[in-house]
Structure 1
């Protein structure tokens, strides 16, 4: 059975980006080591520490990603190449009419549950943290929550769980992978 993972790099105070969507030092760990890894797109090579490489490689089963329209717009859909996995499901009520990569493996879906369901049919799924991830968690669709915690305080910005208001959710004890300038915490969602 496929697994749904909510994931992002996060500051110590719980933000995945500043209010203007800048990530600042959050992604520094992607370039602070000697081990080359990719997350699906062979054109995007990161150089991380051995511990972080092991963590990234453990996500090798990701076949699809679910993101929101905001992330899609900020990244320009990674120019039609999924950043992780082989297919991207974009949650939006208004698909782009003029996107220059109409044949790219991107599907536009009107709500989080059907996007996750369609993605899950392909295999393991990565759901972007933020509002889409918070909605997936609230709907009971997330199996694991992954925090890539970096030692920085942003003070304010985009919250890891977005506007999550789904009530109490218990997580299991974390699996901890200690990288350089990043701590990977993996929590199974208690059922």
Structure 2
């Protein structure tokens, strides 16, 4: 069976952006120091084999492309969808179609995207069907936390950047109970350490 993976660049203190919680803009403006969380996408000399325009260090490219090549569908919440300009009607991944999970209708949804309004479990089920034998990627802190709380996530990947932001938008939201993780792999690279965990059930 395919696996469900959530991955994001985070600071050492667990933030995915430097915004205060009151700031509704997640990406593209007002990042401040949090822009450093994404420098490793472009500060290397090894082109990504999956994402055009990404130039990573060799260890980052090896880790990132191995992970990205596993995905056959992606799931994102309404907030991530809105803050990412609807992914221009496509997907954040070049070959994995996008499923958007929302409590309400999304008029901007394109024919290339799938909308699910009946909860995270149904969204992941829809993504699994799209992905076939490949894995499903879950984007965004709120959606990832909902999927973790529902016991639907198999692997967690943190691209941890050596900075303490002190405040901002945390990746993990409040969970109803603790989630045990087992470290599978830790890959140090220039400007980032890739931490790959398995969710222990």
* TM value normalised by structure 1: 0.90
Gaps (5+ residues) in structure 2? none
Query: 4+ residue stretches of structure 1 with deviation over 4 A?
Result: none
Q: 1:86 deviation in Å? A: 2.0
2:171 corresponds to: 160
Query: Would you say the 8 A contact 1:65–1:87 is kept in 2?
Result: yes
Q: 142-151 vs 19-28, which deviates more?
A: 19-28
Matching of residues 63-102 of structure 1 within 5 Å: 63-84=72-93, 85-97=95-107, 99=108, 102=110
* TM value normalised by structure 2: 0.86
Gaps (5+ residues) in structure 1? none
Query: Would you say the 8 A contact 1:38–1:45 is kept in 2?
Result: no
Corresponding position: 1:186 with 2:196: yes
What SS does structure 2 have at the residue aligned with 1:13?
Answer: coil
Query: Take 1:86 and 1:169, find their aligned partners in 2: how far apart are those partners?
Result: 27
Query: Take 2:146 and 2:198, find their aligned partners in 1: how far apart are those partners?
Result: 17
1:12 corresponds to: 12
Q: 1:131 deviation in Å? A: 0.7
Q: 1:77 deviation in Å? A: 2.0
2:144 corresponds to: 133
Query: Would you say the 8 A contact 2:71–2:136 is kept in 1?
Result: yes
Query: Take 1:38 and 1:78, find their aligned partners in 2: how far apart are those partners?
Result: 20
